[in-house]
Structure 1
Amino acid sequence: MKFLIKSFLNKLIWIIVLLLVIAGGTSYFVQRYNGKVEQEYQFVIKRFSKQSQLVVADAGIDTKAHKTFESKATKDWPEWTKGIQKVFVNREMNIEIPVKTEFKLELKNLSKSDVNIKDNVLTFKHPLTVNVDSQPVGNVEIKDSKSGIVDKAVDLFTSSKKGQEFLSEKSGDALEATSKKIMSQKDKRQKVAKYSEEALENILNLNSDEKITVKISESDLKFVNIDSKEK
C-alpha cells in the first residue's frame, strides 16, 4: 500500500514538474514573440515619424486645366494688366494651365493603434489621409476661343514672369477643380493605393534585413483636396 502511494506521489510530482516546464517554456516563447512584435511596431512608427508627408512619386498625374475669364471680370484687375484687357474687350479670355497633381501621405500623427502587423504584413486600421495637391507647371497660355490666334500683346503678357504669376494666382479654382476631378476617378484612386504600398515599403525596408509587405486598398485611403477653399 505504501509502495502504491509512493509511486502515485512520484508520478504526480513528475506531472507537476512537467506542467511547470511546459508553462515556463510557453511563457518564454510568448514573451519573446510579444517582444518581437513590439519591436516591429516601434520600428514601423519610427520610420513613419521621419516622414511628415510622403509624396507618392509614381502616382503623380500630368494634365491641363482650363479657366475662362469674362471681359467684365477683368475690369478689377490691376493697372499694369490694361494692355491684355484691351485685347479681350467684350469677349472671353480662355487660359490653359499645365498642371501636376501630387499625392502626399500623412504619416506624422500615426501611432501603434493605427497599424496592424501580422506575419510581416502591415495593414492600416484607420483610413490613411492622402493630400491631393495640384500645382501649375510650365507656362500658362492664353487662348482665343474664336480664332485660336494669339495676339502680340497676349504673347508679351504671358512671356513675362509677372504675368505668369498673376494668371496662376487667378486660376486657383481651376486647380481645385482639377484635384476634385481626379479624386472622383476610381482608377486614379486605385493607382494611388498601388503606388502607396510601394512607397511605404521602400521607406520601411531601406537598410533593413527583415522585409515588411504593405497592403493598401482604395478604401484604406482618405483623399483630401488641399486646393479646396472649403476648409
Structure 2
Amino acid sequence: MIKKFLALAATALFSLNASAGYIQYDFHTGSDGAGLSGYFIQHDTDQSIAYFDFWLLDPVRDYGQPFYPLGGEGEVLLTDATTHFLSDGPTNFTIADDFGADHFTNLSVSFARNAQGSFVYTAHYDADLFEQEPPMFYSGTLTGIATRGTVDPQLAEYLDSMDGYEYGVPRIVPRYIGPNEVPGEVPEPASIALLALGAAGMLGATRRRSSGR
C-alpha cells in the first residue's frame, strides 16, 4: 500500500515539474462561433511564446485557417511579440503563414484585461489565397475571451527537449508597450477624479440655491 502511494506521489510530482515553467492560454470563440479556438503556451519567466496550436474561424466571411508551427516548403512562423502586462498576462503576437505562390496570411493578436479580470483578445488577419482561381483575399477582425489553461505534461517535456521552443517559434522576449484595459469597462483614476469634482460642484450649487431662498 505504501509503495503504491509513493508511486502515485512520484507520478504527480513528475507531472507538476514537467509543466513547470510554462503557462497556457486557451482561446474561446464568441457565441456566433467566430474567433480563435485552441491555445498557445508561453514561458512564465520572460513571457516569450513557446508553442501555438489554434484555428481562426470567421463564419461571416466563410473563412477558416489553422495556425501551428511549421517549416519546410512553407512556413508558419512567429514574427513579433509585445505585452501589456509586466508579469501576469498573455503575450501579444504576430504570425506569418507564408507558402509563397500558394497563400500568405498575416495574423496579429493582442490582449486587454476587462473589469472581470479576464483577458479579451482582438485578432486581425489578412489572407491572400493565390492558389485559387481567381485569387481570393480575406481580411477581418475577431474578438473573444482567453483564459488560463492546463499545460499537457508530455508537451512540456517535449518543449524542454527542444530547449523550450517548438521549431518555427523563435525566442522573442516581448517588448512592454504599456497597460491595456477594455475601453469603458474600468474607469481610469483621472476619470474618477473628474466625476468626483463634478459631483462636488453640483452639490455646492444645490446648497447655494437652497440657502438663497
**TM-score normalized by the length of structure 1:** 0.23
Q: Which has the larger radius of gyration?
A: 1
Q: More helix per residue: 1 or 2?
A: 1
Q: More strand per residue: 1 or 2?
A: 2
**TM-score normalized by the length of structure 2:** 0.24
